[in-house]
Amino acid sequence: MVQFAFALTLLAVNTKPVSPIQTPAPDISSIRKELNEQYKNWRTVRLNYDRPAMESILSPDFYAVLPDKRLTRKEFIDAIATKSDRVTLLRFDSHILTVTPKDGAWITVITEKLEVTFTDKTGKKRRGSSYWVTRDGWRKENGQWHAFFTESIGNENWRDVKPPFSDWDSHDR
């Protein structure tokens, strides 16, 4: 019994703790800052329907998962970069909730506040609002951030009424 206790003591003294992460942890606050800048840029890109900027931000393997379908990069860009005579995007604000490293990439969970004006079937001008929660994947390649997916977690829409959030009027810029 004494030999067993001695062996355990030697083992404890001579064993270095093994960490599952061998590299230093990234500075999440600086990554959050950088990604906040990307979302501010994305806001401008969306409000201006800037297709070339969309193409530079979205990686070649980008895809979008919406509640009812999955879109390729091209389908997604075509859907959001095409101006409509009936719908005008007025607001596109994003707010990062979480930032998590995963397999050399960064996963964010964000909220989005969208507002549009649109003309209904009767020709009446209306106002629409949407609140989305999405999970987005980002990679930094050659010093440039690229989104490689977006996935809808949930969304809700309203017509001609203010959404039921106390902070709806505040902008996340």
Domain that holds residue 86: 28-159
End-to-end Cα separation, the chain, in angstroms: 67
What is the rounded distance in angstroms from the CA atom of residue 117 to the CA atom of residue 86?
8
4 assigned to some structural domain: no
Residue-wise DSSP of 46-62 = HHTT-HHHHHHHEEEEE
User: Is residue 62 domain-resident?
Assistant: yes
Looking at the structure of the chain, the number of domains it has is: 1
Whichever domain contains 47, its CATH number is 3.10.450.50
Residue-wise pLDDT tens digits, 61-74: 999 999 999 999 99
Does the residue 43 lie in any domain? yes
Tell me if 20 is assigned to some domain: no
Residue 69 lies in a domain: yes
Mean pLDDT of 111-137: 95
Separation in Å, CA 58 to CA 17, 76, 104, 147: 41, 10, 17, 5
Residue 155 lies in a domain: yes
**pTM of model > 0.85:** no
Per-residue model confidence as pLDDT tens digits over 97-121 = 999 999 999 999 999 999 999 999 9
Q: Is the pLDDT at 55 greater than 70, yes or no?
A: yes
Those residues whose C-beta lies under 8 Å from the C-beta of residue 44, and which sit 6 or more positions away, are 50
